[in-house]
Amino acid sequence: EVQLVQSGAEVKKPGESLKISCKGSGYSFSNYWIGWVRQMPGKGLEWMGIIYPGDSDTRYRPSFQGQVTISADKSISTAYLQWSSLKASDTAMYYCARQSSGSYYDPQDYWGQGTLVTVSS
Q: Which residues pair with 67 in a beta bridge?
A: none
- Nearest Cα neighbor of 2 from 112, 114, 116, 115 is 112
Identity of the residue, 35 or 53, whose beta carbon is nearer to other proteins in the bound complex = 35
37 binds other proteins (CB under 8 A): yes
With respect to other proteins, which residue has the nearer C-beta, 5 or 17?
5
**Binding to other proteins by residue 55, rule CB under 8 A?**
no
Q: Does 54 bind other proteins (CB under 8 A)?
A: no
**Residues contacting residue 27 through CB under 8 Å, at least 6 positions apart:** 2, 98
Phi-psi region of 112 (alpha: psi -120 to 50; beta: other; left: phi over 0): beta
If binding is defined by CB under 8 A, does position 106 make contact with other proteins?
Answer: yes
Which residues would be at the binding site for other proteins (CB under 8 A)? 33, 35, 37, 44-47, 49-50, 59, 61-62, 95, 97, 99-100, 104-109, 111-114
